[in-house]
């Protein structure tokens, strides 16, 4: 399965990645290589094999429902470019 | 052409855990912005999720309550999209292996008929933060307190055929969730939200029409109105030879219409993949059995028991079990007063009327169950009449003292002293010679008027039975 340039541009847009004109060709080739590997994997007979969601064969440890975090707003907001009234400010977004 | 409507509902319920789904931040409602947003909730690099066991237990509790298949192995996935109130750039949810699989709810419709509506699945996911667009010139304000709070998204089968069924389904879901104590499920506050998928097709067709999704409706009534208005819109388009675009719409209550939000055809590309930061959640039969063993009595079972134990009609029992608190209140009144039917009338009419009028919940009620039971006891032992009881009930709203003290201090005790009643009767006979004559001439129903006069004269305090008896005696 090969990807064309338009598809790569669309994927880049969805991931909010900027890929320059000159990079597009290389990225297209590299993604296509990955997809070729996946095609190869798809052709393996997996009859009777349970789907795997994680490479480690262990299960999730659970956390007791307790409040363990303290308010760190002031420290965290020092990292933000802009904040006001306790809110993080970002360029206006409206649907 | 005749059309039929196909509706599926997606309901998001905020699970009432103390801490968030994947972090130890508090979920307390109403805290100042971002004071409950930890480094994990803000998606700082290097932070990792740790799953809250209580969210899992609540989801399984819901699943068991609706007789659903429980996923013994559930897997989290990332749903990728960019929006500032979702700092990670993806929402953690469950796509292929949700914790709750197929189940069903039985709803009762207005005509008394029952319908089973399938639940496709219910999956655990995290909430996003809140964006405020109003007050910051050219900027949006982001509050991440809500980011990472646990949600249960309950998806129905597209088996709902009209607005009435949709509302009945939602109300039933709401009741069950409240009985299970897994969420406040207050629509007005956003702890229960509803997305409605609507399509129409020619009656009898097997293929589904193109659907639209109406997002984030926050009251039962708006769900009903949004469906009516969207069905009308789709019908008009199709009858004019147009075609429905699959899209997300919003319901505007002021204009009673739905408007387009964005076209799903372009926007809906979430590139799901398994969340590598979380391992599969595995539970066994023992875990499920333990959750099942802790289920409370659910509304359907309680309704049946009320009909059986308290000789109530299905309708009355249905009203009383519609909220767990109301049902518990009723049981105290019924048991303490020893008159389940009188208790049902007082609770479902007088008490509910009072609560609705003031927009109070059971917990706000100035009249506690034990006090209402005493009031009913006083009707039964003839201390007061049913009519005077209404006056006492009114007084109890503002007066916290005991029922007996109120009856005493207001002088509302029923007059049962035969001497006093005789005085009343004689006075009424003397003042109404015309009616008395009519009675003597055989017009028996005049007795009602005369009893009324006596009651009025006694300000409602005379025992009506005694009055009636004595009147007849004196007019012989």
Token readout for B468 is 């009636």
Decide if B96 contacts B211 (C-beta within 8 A).
no
Domain limits, chain B:
3-289, 297-409, 418-474
* Residue range B69-86: mean pLDDT, rounded: 94
Which chain B residues have a beta carbon less than 8 Å from that of A67?
Answer: 18-19, 24-26
Span B4-49, pLDDT tens digits: 999 999 999 999 999 999 999 999 999 999 999 999 999 999 999 9
Q: How confident is the model at residue B100 (pLDDT cuts 50, 70, 90)?
A: very high
What is the pairing mode between strands B3-14 and B150-156? Answer: antiparallel
What's the predicted TM-score (pTM) here? 0.85
Is there a contact between A85 and B33 if contact means CB atoms under 8 Å apart? yes
Cα distance between residue B226 and residue B210, in whole Å: 17
Q: How far is CA A82 from CA B88, B132, B167, in A?
A: 18, 15, 44
Which chain B residues have a beta carbon less than 8 Å from that of A82?
Answer: 139
By the 10 Å C-beta count (0-12 exposed, 13-18 middle, 19+ buried), B474 is classed as middle
- Tell me which residue in B25, B44, B138 faces A92 most closely, judged by beta carbons: B138
Chain A, nearest residue to B262 by Cα: A95
Q: How confident is the model at residue B264 (pLDDT cuts 50, 70, 90)?
A: very low
Is there a contact between B34 and A87 if contact means CB atoms under 8 Å apart? yes
Is there a contact between B83 and A93 if contact means CB atoms under 8 Å apart? yes
* Residue range A64-69: mean pLDDT, rounded: 97
Cα distance between residue B174 and residue B193, in whole Å: 11
- Domain A5-42: top CATH class: mainly alpha
Least confident span in B62-71, B134-143, B260-269, B303-312: B260-269
Which chain B residues have a beta carbon less than 8 Å from that of A56?
Answer: 279
Look over chain A and give the mean of its residue pLDDT values, rounded to a whole number. 89
Which chain B residues have a beta carbon less than 8 Å from that of A68?
Answer: 19, 24
Is there a contact between A60 and B278 if contact means CB atoms under 8 Å apart? yes
Which chain A residues have a beta carbon less than 8 Å from that of B82?
Answer: 16
- Tell me which residue in A15, A66, A84 faces B18 most closely, judged by beta carbons: A66
Chain A, nearest residue to B25 by Cα: A69
Chain A residues within 8 angstroms (CB to CB) of chain B: 14-16, 53-54, 56, 58-69, 71-73, 76-77, 82, 84-95
Query: Which of B261, B200, B198, B196 is CA-nearest to residue B236?
Result: B200
Domain limits, chain A:
5-42
Span B174-197, pLDDT tens digits: 999 999 999 999 998 889 999 999
- Tell me which residue in B140, B269, B279 faces A93 most closely, judged by beta carbons: B140
Least confident span in B100-114, B150-164, B422-436: B422-436
DSSP state of B70: B
Highest mean pLDDT among A10-24, B139-153, B263-277, B454-468: B139-153
CA B218 to chain centre: 13
Q: What is the reported pLDDT for B466? A: 83
Report residue B393: phi and psi, to 5°: -55, -45
User: How many CB atoms are located within 10 Å of the residue A47 CB?
Assistant: 5
Least confident span in B23-37, B261-275, B277-291, B409-423: B261-275
The fold of the B418-474 domain, in CATH, is: Arc Repressor Mutant, subunit A (1.10.10)
Q: How confident is the model at residue B265 (pLDDT cuts 50, 70, 90)?
A: very low
In a mutagenesis test of the B interface, which of A59, A82, A87 is the best target, namely the one with the most B β-carbons within 10 Å? A87
How distant is the Cα of A43 from the closest Cα of chain B, in angstroms? 20
Which chain A residues have a beta carbon less than 8 Å from that of B138?
Answer: 91-92
């Amino acid at each position: 399965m090969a990807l064309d340039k338009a598809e790569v541009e669309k994927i880049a847009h969805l991931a909010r990645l900027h890929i320059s004109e000159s990079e597009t060709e290389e990225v297209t080739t590299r993604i296509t290589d990955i997809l070729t590997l996946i095609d190869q994997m798809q052709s393996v007979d997996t009859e009777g094999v349970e789907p795997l969601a994680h490479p480690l064969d262990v299960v999730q440890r659970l956390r007791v429902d307790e409040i363990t975090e303290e308010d760190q707003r002031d420290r965290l907001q020092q990292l933000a470019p802009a904040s006001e009234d306790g809110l993080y400010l970002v360029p206006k977004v409206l649907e | 052409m005749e059309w039929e409507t196909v509706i599926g509902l997606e309901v998001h319920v905020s699970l009432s855990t103390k801490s968030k789904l994947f972090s130890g931040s508090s979920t307390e409602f109403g805290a100042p912005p971002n004071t409950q947003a930890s480094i994990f909730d803000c998606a700082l690099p290097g932070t990792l999720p740790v799953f809250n066991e209580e969210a899992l237990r609540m989801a399984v509790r819901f699943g068991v309550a609706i007789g659903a298949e429980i996923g013994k192995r559930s897997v989290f996935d990332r749903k990728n999209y960019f929006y500032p109130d979702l700092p990670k750039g993806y929402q953690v949810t469950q796509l292929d292996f949700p914790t709750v699989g197929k189940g069903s709810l039985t709803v009762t419709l207005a005509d008394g008929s029952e319908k089973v509506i399938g639940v496709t699945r219910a999956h655990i996911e995290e909430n996003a933060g809140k964006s405020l667009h109003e007050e910051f010139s050219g900027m949006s304000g982001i509050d991440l307190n809500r980011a990472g709070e646990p949600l249960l998204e309950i998806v129905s089968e597209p088996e709902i055929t009209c607005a009435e069924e949709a509302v009945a389904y939602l109300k039933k879901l709401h009741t069950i969730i409240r009985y299970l104590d897994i969420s406040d499920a207050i629509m007005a506050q956003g702890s229960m939200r509803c997305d409605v998928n609507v399509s129409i097709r020619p009656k009898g067709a097997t293929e589904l029409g193109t659907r639209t999704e109406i997002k984030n409706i926050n009251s039962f009534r708006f769900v009903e109105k949004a469906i009516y208005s969207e069905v009308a819109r789709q019908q008009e388009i199709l009858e004019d030879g147009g075609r429905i675009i699959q899209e997300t719409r919003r319901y505007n209550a002021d204009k009673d219409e739905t408007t387009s939000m964005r076209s799903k055809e372009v926007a809906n590309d979430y590139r799901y993949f398994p969340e590598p930061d979380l391992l599969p959640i595995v539970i066994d039969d023992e875990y499920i059995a333990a959750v099942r063993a802790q289920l409370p009595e659910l509304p359907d079972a309680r309704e049946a028991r009320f009909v059986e134990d308290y000789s109530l009609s299905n309708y009355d029992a249905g009203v009383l079990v519609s909220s767990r608190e109301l049902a518990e209140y009723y049981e105290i009144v019924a048991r303490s007063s020893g008159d389940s039917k009188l208790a049902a009338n007082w609770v479902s009419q007088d008490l509910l009327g009072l609560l609705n009028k003031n927009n109070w919940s059971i917990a706000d009620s100035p009249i506690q169950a034990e006090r209402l039971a005493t009031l009913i006891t006083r009707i039964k032992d003839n201390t007061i009449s049913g009519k005077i009881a209404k006056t006492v009930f009114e007084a109890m709203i503002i007066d916290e003292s005991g029922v007996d003290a109120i009856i005493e201090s207001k002088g509302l005790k029923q007059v049962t002293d035969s001497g006093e009643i005789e005085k009343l009767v004689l006075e009424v006979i003397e003042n109404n010679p015309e009616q008395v004559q009519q009675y003597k001439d055989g017009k028996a129903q005049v007795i009602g008027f005369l009893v009324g006069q006596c009651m009025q004269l006694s300000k409602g305090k005379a025992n009506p039975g005694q009055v009636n008896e004595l009147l007849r005696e004196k007019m012989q």
